[in-house]
Structure 1
Amino acid sequence: MNITKGDVQELRRRLKKKECTFDRMCGCYVNSGKQIVLKFTDMFSELEEDEYFKYLEIAKKTISGTLGSNLLELEFDRNEASDERRTYLLTLRDSRLANEELLDRLYEKVIEEYSYPGNYLILVYHDIYDVPSKATSGEEQEESEEIYEYLLCAVCPVDLAKPALGYKEDENRIGARDRDWVVGLPDLGFVYPAFSDRGSDVNAVMYYVRTGRPSHAEFIENVLGCISQRTAAEDKLAFRNVVIDAFGEDEEQADEAFFKMQRTISAMVAEREEDESLPPVELTAEAVSGLAAEAEVPEKVREQIEKSYAHTFGEQPPAAHNVLDSRLVEEGTVRAHTAALEQKVAVLQQELAQHAANETDEDDVPWVTGGSINIELHVPEERAASIRTGIVEGRKCLLVPIEDDEEACVNGKNLPL
């Protein structure tokens, strides 16, 4: 990956009223039947203030997210069709959106490949950025060493506003508000050429997908001519399916093994976050097999996981942080901690119950004031007449005759005879 977090932040910082240099913006409104309803072209600086900031917000959203997660760096495929798409995009950029025929080709291709059931708006911005050089101290200087000219395209869903009540001034009453078609934030978008190492990379596209949405592989391949990539959400789901499916119907064992593997991945990711000098971990099929072994997955299931994983991800193994389900790890850790506490409470309750039982046994011996003990003796009636008191070694004692085949027990303990 060549695009850095700093590159993305530098582009985003410019999308403010005083720093933005968008010169032209074009749009195409498409209904649910894939029919073009409206096309328009505006000089960006001449937009009304409210519109200016709304369109700026859409552009800014298209350069947002996390690199490698929902902000992807795409490479062009190595075939004739992809070369043609790259040449077309460069030509469209160089036209500065003044060529209606070139714009129509983009609109038609997006409409053909973008799968969406409702209405949507295609927006295309053109910009030229004089990239200021940086001094050795890292501070920006006024002199420009590079001109970065690029296109930004955003595809935004357009939905009816939610039903609501409102004040009808002309009728002086509260009534149902008229529902308008509202342009939402982009579902997907791209910047071409990519802004990489503070300059233009005509061999790459920076591609945006709304968090949690599919990557739209058909759009990547057929509109942009690039090699499709999965988002982090898609990587996470695919990884889970590989592990769970390998266990068949044994869902309990599958969930336990998956949690153990996720816990190990979490530790790997945390180590990289603490030490940024460490490279990201790519989860190859072999590495995942090792995770399964550490999670004590049976060998037969482990072999199936490795095989399915290699088939699913091929030569594009995901980074560890892309398949990490942080919420699952957190919830599992809390459950384990809670279970451990419950176990400790159960042990303590058992010890307290045993202690209470011992105290009850001791209370069976009637204590009286002054430290004296009342002794009760239970013997068969025929033996009672033979029991008497006497003086032994100067002490008053209770004398109980014991036959050779008899035993004596006091408070549950046998007396030596």
Structure 2
Amino acid sequence: MNISKNDVLELRRRLKKTECTFGRMCGCYVNSGKQVVLKFGQQFSELEDDEFYKYLEIAKKTLSGTLGSNLLELSFARDEQAKERQQYLLALKSSKLTNDALLDRLYEQVIEQYAYPGNYLILVYHDVYDVMTRTKDNAELDESSEVYEYMLCAVCPVELAKPALGYREEENRIGARERDWVVGLPDLGLVYPAFSGRGSDVNAVMYYVKTGRPSHPEFVEKVLGCTPQQTAAEQKLTFQHVIQDAFGEEEEKAENAFFHIQKTISGMVAEQEEEEDRPPFALTAEVVSDVISEVDMPAPVREQIEKSYAQSFGDMPPAAHNVLDSRLVAEGTQRVHTAELEQKVLDLKQRLAERQEDAEESAGGEARIVLRLPEEKADCVRTELVGGQRCLLIPLESGEAALINGVSRVL
């Protein structure tokens, strides 16, 4: 990965009222039947303040997330179709969004490939950023080292506002509020060319996916001409299915194996995180093979896991922390600890019961009172007749206490 966290933050910090340099912004509103309802375009600086900040918030969200998790660096596929897509994106960017034919082509491709059942809004921004030269101590010099020209695209769901009561001013009463169509934050978005090493990378696209949403591989492949990648959430789910499917209907064994695999990966990630400068390590097929070799499972299951893992991830193995379910490891470890404690209690009860049986047998089957005393007290115990009743006497010093049936008593 060439895009760094600092690259993303540098672009994101500029999206403020005083620093934003967006030029033109265009949009296309699409209904649930994939029909175009509205197209528009205007200079970003001419927006009313309320609209300015809302559109800026959408653009900023497209630059949020975690690199390698839901913020992906995509590379163009190595074929003629991908090359043609790349040339098209460069042309659209260079047009500064003034070419309606190029914009319409983008809208048509998104509508064709974006799988969404409701209404949505396609937004496209154009920007030119004078990247200032920086000294070794990270101070900016008053001169530009590069002009970074790019476009940002965001696809936002549009949904009806929730039903609510409100003040109806014309009637001076509280009544049902009219439900409006509200533009939400982006479901997916992209920046092209990517901003990498404080410069333009025409061979990469920075691709944003909302957390928990699918990565839309058909969109990546057909619209962008890039090789699809899974988000961290998708990688985690795929990895879980690889383990579960290998065990078939033996769900309990699958869960137990998955927990032990996750626990091993957790230890590997923790060890790696101790070294701050060490990059995240990839969970290659070889690493997975080593991990599952330590887990008790039949040989055919192990072979199936290795085969399915290689087929699922191929030459793009996930980072280990992407498939790690920390919550599962924590909960599973707690269950194991609780089970161990419960077993210790059962063992202790068993030993006490055995001692009781032994004591009764040694007394010829007669019920006996069992005492546990310090050695120095045991020699002082005696029996005497008290009121005609044979009693067991234990002398107590001043302030000493006795625990009787679990209750402490000072006698």
1:162 corresponds to: 162
1:275 corresponds to: 275
1:279 CA drift (Å): 3.3
1:326 CA drift (Å): 1.5
1:167 CA drift (Å): 1.6
Amino acid at match of 1:154: A
1:141 CA drift (Å): 2.2
Which residue among 340, 365, 368 is the counterpart of 1:361? 368
Give the fraction of aligned pairs with identical amino acids, expressed as a percent: 68
1:116 corresponds to: 116
The superposition leaves residues 153-210 of structure 1 with CA deviations (integer Å, 9 ceiling, x where unpaired) of: 0000000001111121222222111000000000001000000000000000000001
The 3-state SS of whatever aligns with 1:361 is: coil
The superposition leaves residues 208-240 of structure 1 with CA deviations (integer Å, 9 ceiling, x where unpaired) of: 001111110010001001011111111111111
Distance 2:333 2:141 in 1: 50
Amino acid at match of 2:20: C
Assess, with a 3 A threshold, how the Cα gap between structure 1 residues 307 and 90 changes in structure 2: closer, same or farther: same
Distance 2:74 2:267 in 1: 29
Listed as ranges, the matches of 1:4-403 within 5 Å are 4-350=4-350, 361-362=368-369, 367-368=383-384, 374=390
The superposition leaves residues 266-325 of structure 1 with CA deviations (integer Å, 9 ceiling, x where unpaired) of: 111122222123332222222212211112222221011111111111121111111111
Assess, with a 3 A threshold, how the Cα gap between structure 1 residues 253 and 91 changes in structure 2: closer, same or farther: same
1:22 CA drift (Å): 0.7
What are the ranges of 5 or more consecutive residues in structure 2 without an aligned counterpart? 361-366, 372-380, 392-411
Distance 1:41 1:369 in 2: 108
Amino acid at match of 1:328: L
Distance 1:253 1:369 in 2: 64
2:396 corresponds to: none
1:379 corresponds to: none
The superposition leaves residues 50-84 of structure 1 with CA deviations (integer Å, 9 ceiling, x where unpaired) of: 11111111001101111111100000011111111
The superposition leaves residues 12-48 of structure 1 with CA deviations (integer Å, 9 ceiling, x where unpaired) of: 1111111111111100000001010001112111111
The superposition leaves residues 314-370 of structure 1 with CA deviations (integer Å, 9 ceiling, x where unpaired) of: 121111111111221121122122222333344455566677886972369993368
4+ runs of 1 displaced by more than 3 Å?
A: 344-360, 362-367, 372-375
Distance 1:223 1:341 in 2: 57
Distance 2:304 2:297 in 1: 11
The 3-state SS of whatever aligns with 2:224 is: coil
1:373 CA drift (Å): 9.9
1:134 CA drift (Å): 0.9
Number of residue pairs aligned between Structure 1 and Structure 2: 374
Distance 2:144 2:207 in 1: 26
The 3-state SS of whatever aligns with 1:54 is: helix
- TM-score normalised by L of structure 2: 0.86
2:397 corresponds to: none
The superposition leaves residues 111-134 of structure 1 with CA deviations (integer Å, 9 ceiling, x where unpaired) of: 011010000000000011111111
Distance 1:49 1:342 in 2: 63
Distance 2:185 2:57 in 1: 8
Amino acid at match of 1:361: R
Amino acid at match of 1:367: T
Contact preservation (8 Å) 1:134, 1:140: yes
1:401 corresponds to: none
The 3-state SS of whatever aligns with 2:87 is: helix
1:413 corresponds to: none
Contact preservation (8 Å) 1:366, 1:373: no
The 3-state SS of whatever aligns with 1:223 is: helix
1:397 corresponds to: none
Question: Which structure has the bigger radius of gyration?
Answer: 1
RMSD: 2.3
Amino acid at match of 1:329: V
- TM-score normalised by L of structure 1: 0.85
Contact preservation (8 Å) 1:366, 1:374: no
Contact preservation (8 Å) 1:150, 1:191: yes
Contact preservation (8 Å) 1:212, 1:233: yes
Distance 1:4 1:115 in 2: 30
Distance 2:345 2:53 in 1: 59
Amino acid at match of 2:282: E
The 3-state SS of whatever aligns with 2:26 is: strand
